[in-house]
Amino acid sequence: GIQVEQSPPDLILQEGANSTLRCNFSDSVNNLQWFHQNPWGQLINLFYIPSGTKQNGRLSATTVATERYSLLYISSSQTTDSGVYFCAVEYSSNTGKLIFGQGTTLQVKP
Amino acid sequence: GAGVSQSPSNKVTEKGKDVELRCDPISGHTALYWYRQSLGQGLEFLIYFQGNSAPDKSGLPSDRFSAERTGGSVSTLTIQRTQQEDSAVYLCASRNQGTQYFGPGTRLTVL
């Protein structure tokens, strides 16, 4: 089956710093989503981005489907950005089920 | 509007008991998914519903697990004869135009 790898596994930042999270996938995908899991466990949808670039405030994402990777940029990080960031890919067009990476755990220190 | 809701938020049960977990998707979303999040396995797909039918049950780990959906809305995930390895957070999601929206999850602890 498809492999979804995220890097780095852990990241510690000082408030105000910028960061880039990476997601590599081993096969062609139909769609890709980025999620933030907050400390209470809620998965919050950040981006639906099968290709191209999107921006939402301090966050932006780029997916290069032909090269099988996606990047999530966090600028001017805040303590509320702490949590786990997941990349998930839709591998089957028939069901839409998501295959998740193992996540990047981000800690932003004040 | 209201998001995906799940109940209960926490469930503690004894090994061998049956449990039912409920999911209320976002109104109008015809696609519904169950996932499981555990420390060792990460986030795993369990089952997919389109309307009331389940064309993909490939993620259900054993025949102790079953799910149904009625009226194209509420879904129930049932685990029979629970085992300690069933302890996990069970997440439900509904989908609209490609984007999946997740509920807060049910944390299941099997003693």
Residues of A in contact with B89 (CB under 8 A): 41
Q: Which residues pair with B110 in a beta bridge?
A: B13
**Residue range A19-78, pLDDT digits in tens:** 999 999 999 998 999 999 998 889 999 999 999 999 999 999 999 999 999 999 999 999
The residue among A84, A103, A79, A85 whose CA lies nearest residue A13 is A79
- CA B85 from chain centre, in angstroms, equals 16
**Residue range B36-69, pLDDT digits in tens:** 999 877 899 999 999 999 999 999 999 999 999 9
Q: Can you tell me the distance from the alpha carbon of B45 to that of B91, in angstroms, rounded to the nearest whole number?
A: 9
**Residue range B1-43, pLDDT digits in tens:** 589 999 999 999 999 999 999 999 999 999 999 999 998 778 9
- Please check whether residue B75 is in contact with residue B68, taking contact to mean a CB–CB distance below 8 angstroms: yes
**Residue A110 in contact with partner chain B when CB distance is under 8 A:** no
Interface test with B, best of A33, A93, A97, A99 (most B CBs within 10 A): A97
Residues of A in contact with B31 (CB under 8 A): 96
DSSP state of A27: S
